[in-house]
Structure 1
Amino acid sequence: MGNVAALRGLSTVTYWADDVPAARAWYSELLGGEPYFERGGAYLEWRIGDYEHELGIIDRAWAPPGAAAVPGGAVVYWHVDDIEAMFDRLLAMGAVEYEPITKREAGFVTAAVTDPFGNVLGIMFSPHYLDRLESLTNSLPASQ
């Protein structure tokens, strides 16, 4: 693989849903737009954020055997600029607190909810994310 990192970046985060149309409506409202890709009513994708990462919804019928049906395991944290406002919005939309807003050291703040479909959705205010974004933006060549 040479100088290429083994893990090059977040490609797609997928969540399962028993009711894909309801998940489509919920995430479309949360993300402020419709999915850019759909496959047969069983799979949806949105491109979101500064790096256009993918968030996918898959019909739970396609989950691998033994996949957990309850929240747990790894939590993916999405950067947000106002964690309190986003946390309140998620709760108002029917999500349930999984991890309360927790202040960490060095300005990091995390929280997580369980969406109405049983998936853990983490949110974080990350000074590192903002610093990296600024660094990458400043290193882009000037437009001609």
Structure 2
Amino acid sequence: MLRGLATLNFYAADLEAAKAWYTELLGFEPYYEVPGGYIEWRVGDYQHELGIIDSRHAPAGAADRPGNAIMHWHVDDVQAVFDRLLTLGAKEYEPITKRGDGFVTASVIDPFGNVLGIMYNQHYLDVLGK
């Protein structure tokens, strides 16, 4: 039924600031943009989509604070990425936590109120290697 992550969307009231922040974090410009409405990058080993939508287009009743879902991006060095996120102005949401052998997670709240999860997961690397 679920085939894989297609697009992860965040909302931001200041789309241009979000574009600048995520471009700095990722190290490259978005590949797609609708001026004043939406920006999108292709990220990682499988080129998953990370999109940011102007919060004016959020569904009615959308939360204005972090929600209950965290999507984690695999990284090779959780500590280094976590430190970089904090340096760029993100706030700790969940500290670096060892979940088991080869499984470490952490998450931050970006400057626009979205939860950005990171993890090191040996299973991800095993699947990628197949």
Cα shift at 1:106 = 2.1
Aligned: 1:110 with 2:105 = yes
Question: What CA RMSD, in Å, does the superposition of the two structures yield over aligned residues?
Answer: 0.6
Larger radius of gyration: 1
User: What pairs with 1:1-144 in structure 2 (closer than 5 Å)?
Assistant: 6-135=1-130
Give the whole-Å Cα distance in 1 for the aligned partners of 2:35 and 2:84. 30
Give the whole-Å Cα distance in 1 for the aligned partners of 2:85 and 2:47. 21
Q: Deviations over 1:84-137 (max 9, x none)?
A: 0000000000000000000011220000000000000000000000011011xx
Q: TM-score, structure 2 length as denominator?
A: 0.98
SS in structure 1 of the partner of residue 129 of structure 2: helix
Give the whole-Å Cα distance in 1 for the aligned partners of 2:102 and 2:29. 33
Q: TM-score, structure 1 length as denominator?
A: 0.89
Q: Deviations over 1:38-79 (max 9, x none)?
A: 012210000000000000000000000011110121100000
Q: Residue type matched to 1:66 in 2?
A: G
Give the whole-Å Cα distance in 2 for the aligned partners of 1:73 and 1:64. 17
SS in structure 1 of the partner of residue 126 of structure 2: helix
Q: Residue type matched to 2:125 in 1?
A: L
Q: Give 4+ residue runs of structure 1 displaced > 4 Å after superposition.
A: none
